[in-house]
Structure 1
Amino acid sequence: MFKSILFPTDGSDLSDQAAAIVVEFARLHQARILAISVVQPLLMPALGDSGAMLDAGQYETQMQDSARDHLNKVAAAASAGGIPFEGVIAMSPNPYEEIVDAAKKHGCDIIVMASHGRKGLNKLFLGSETQRVLSHTSLPVLVLR
C-alpha cells in the first residue's frame, strides 16, 4: 500500500526510537524510506555569554553536520533492515514547509513522524511541527509518540 515513506528526523531520542518503527513499517510494506532533517537558520545574531556575536557560517556548518549525523543513524537502521534509503538535508525557518514539500517532490505516499506530545503552554510557545504538517498536507500522516 505504501511504497515511499517520508521520515522527518531531528536526532532526538524520540526520533531515534521512531526510526526503528519506520524501518519495520517500511519492511512490512516493501517501501523505501526518505529521511529529511531540516536545519533552521540563525535568524538573528545572538550574543553569547561574553557578549561576542555568534558566527552564522559556523552555526550553519555545525547544524549541517548534526543533520548529517541524524540521517546517518536512520541510514544505518535502514541498511540493517535491507530497506532502500535516501537522506535529504534542507534549510528553512519553517521545517513543516520543507517536510511537506519533500513529500510532494519525492512522491511519498505517507509521512511518519515522531511527536513530543506537548500540551498547554509548552505547545503554545514551542509549537508543533507535527500539527503544522498535519494541517498542510493531504497525505496520510502516522504520528508516533
Structure 2
Amino acid sequence: MFKTILLPTDGSDLSDKATATAMEFARLHQSRIIALTVIQPMLLPAMGDGGAVLEAGQYETQMQDAARDHINKVAAAASAAGIPFEGFIAMSASASDEIVEAAKKHGCDLIMMASHGRTGLSKLLLGSETQSVLSHTSLPVLVLR
C-alpha cells in the first residue's frame, strides 16, 4: 500500500524516534525510505559571544555538515534494516514547502514526520511545520510524537 515513504529529519531525538518507527513500518510494508533534511538559509547575521558575527559561508558549511549527519543517521538505520534508501538535503526558507514538493518529486505515497507538539506562544512564534505540511498536501501524513 505505501511503497515510498518521505521521512523529513532534523536530527533531533524526536526525529531519531520517528526514524526507528519508519524503518519498522517500511520493513513491514516492503517500502523504501526517502529522507529529507531542510536547511534554512541565514536571514540575519548570527551574533556569537562578544558580538562576533558568523559569516554566511561558515553558517552554510556548518549547516551542510549537520544535515549530512542527519541523513547519514537515517541511512545507517535503513542499511541495518535492509530498507531501500535515498537521502536528500535541500535549502529553503520554508521546510514545509520543501517537504511537500519532495514528496511529489519522488513519488511518495506517505509522509512520516515527527512533531514537537508545540503549543501556545511557542507555536505562534515558531510555527508548526507539521501543520503546514498537513494543510498543503493531499498525501496521507503519519505524525509521530
What is the aligned partner in structure 2 of residue 117 from structure 1?
117
Shift of 1:101: 0.5
What is the aligned partner in structure 1 of residue 67 from structure 2?
67
What is the aligned partner in structure 2 of residue 135 from structure 1?
135
What is the aligned partner in structure 2 of residue 100 from structure 1?
100
* Distance in 2 between residues matched to 1:41 and 1:12, nearest whole Å: 19
Deviations 1:15-65 (A, max 9, x none): 001100000010111000000000011011133232222110010011011
Corresponding letter in the other structure for 1:42: M
* Distance in 1 between residues matched to 2:77 and 2:49, nearest whole Å: 39
Please, which runs of 5 or more residues in structure 2 have no aligned partner?
none
What is the aligned partner in structure 2 of residue 16 from structure 1?
16
* Distance in 2 between residues matched to 1:22 and 1:46, nearest whole Å: 34
What is the aligned partner in structure 2 of residue 39 from structure 1?
39
* Distance in 2 between residues matched to 1:48 and 1:67, nearest whole Å: 21
> Is 2:33 the partner of 1:5?
no
Shift of 1:103: 0.3
| Number of residue equivalences | 145
* TM-score (ref. length: structure 2): 0.97
What is the aligned partner in structure 2 of residue 48 from structure 1?
48
Please, which runs of 5 or more residues in structure 1 have no aligned partner?
none
Deviations 1:73-121 (A, max 9, x none): 1111111110000000000111001100000000000100000111111
Corresponding letter in the other structure for 2:55: D
Corresponding letter in the other structure for 2:103: A
* Distance in 2 between residues matched to 1:46 and 1:120, nearest whole Å: 26
> Is 2:90 the partner of 1:90?
yes
* Distance in 2 between residues matched to 1:43 and 1:90, nearest whole Å: 16
* TM-score (ref. length: structure 1): 0.97
* Distance in 1 between residues matched to 2:132 and 2:7, nearest whole Å: 15
Corresponding letter in the other structure for 2:69: D
Q: Secondary structure at the match of 1:50?
A: helix
